Amino acid sequence: MQNSKTQETLTGLFVACGIAALFFMAMQISNLGSFSSEKVYNISANFENAGGLKVKSPVTIAGFRVGRVSSISINKDFVAVVKMNIASQYKLPDDTVASIYTAGLLGEQYISLDPGGEEEFLEENGVIDITSSAVILEQLIGKFFTDKESQ
């Protein structure tokens, strides 16, 4: 029969450890610590080809993540419409360029934003006009060969 005081202390310790572990998972293992609790605003961009972009793919400026892709769809002209959430402290000029790049040769795809010099900033539900689509490896290889033949 264990002393009830020790028992209570150990129980308290157990609960504290458990909650600490939950906190650790939230802050250290997942993206909660760095993002997602912040305020965001929504912008969209149209791409000829969204390639392998996925919902939750990162959106970066100069390699630093400022947001995530929130949805991908196509409009009536069969152009891919990519919506993204950007942390609200990053104000983007109107003439920002959005490009889809691949991390490494085979890595996952992400959107890279290249802010321009306009005075006007993109508002909630703003649209980025200048985009460059995903580079598809097969197209690249195909182009390489046709170029070679025409030489």
Regarding 137 and contact with another protein (CB under 8 A), the answer is: no
CA 9 centroid distance within chain? 44
For residue 32, give Cα distances in angstroms to 36, 58, 59, 125. Answer: 6, 14, 16, 24
Examine residue 125 and tell whether it contacts another protein (CB under 8 A).
no
Residue 14 in contact with another protein, rule: CB under 8 A: yes
Stretch of 12-20, 70-78, 124-132, 133-141 lying at the interface with another protein (CB under 8 A): 12-20
Q: Is 98 exposed, middle or buried (0-12, 13-18, 19+ CB in 10 A)?
A: buried
Selected range binding another protein among 6-14, 88-96, 112-120, 140-148, rule: CB under 8 A: 6-14
- For the chain, the straight-line distance linking the first and the last C-alpha, in angstroms and rounded, comes to 90
Q: Does 34 bind another protein (CB under 8 A)?
A: yes
Q: Is 52 in the site for another protein (CB under 8 A)?
A: no
Shortest Å distance, C-beta 20 to another protein: 8
Q: Please identify which residue in 49, 51, 61, 65 interacts with another protein, judged by CB under 8 A.
A: 65
Query: Is residue 103 within the footprint of another protein (CB under 8 A)?
Result: no
**Of 93, 124, 113, 111, nearest in space to 49 by CA:** 111
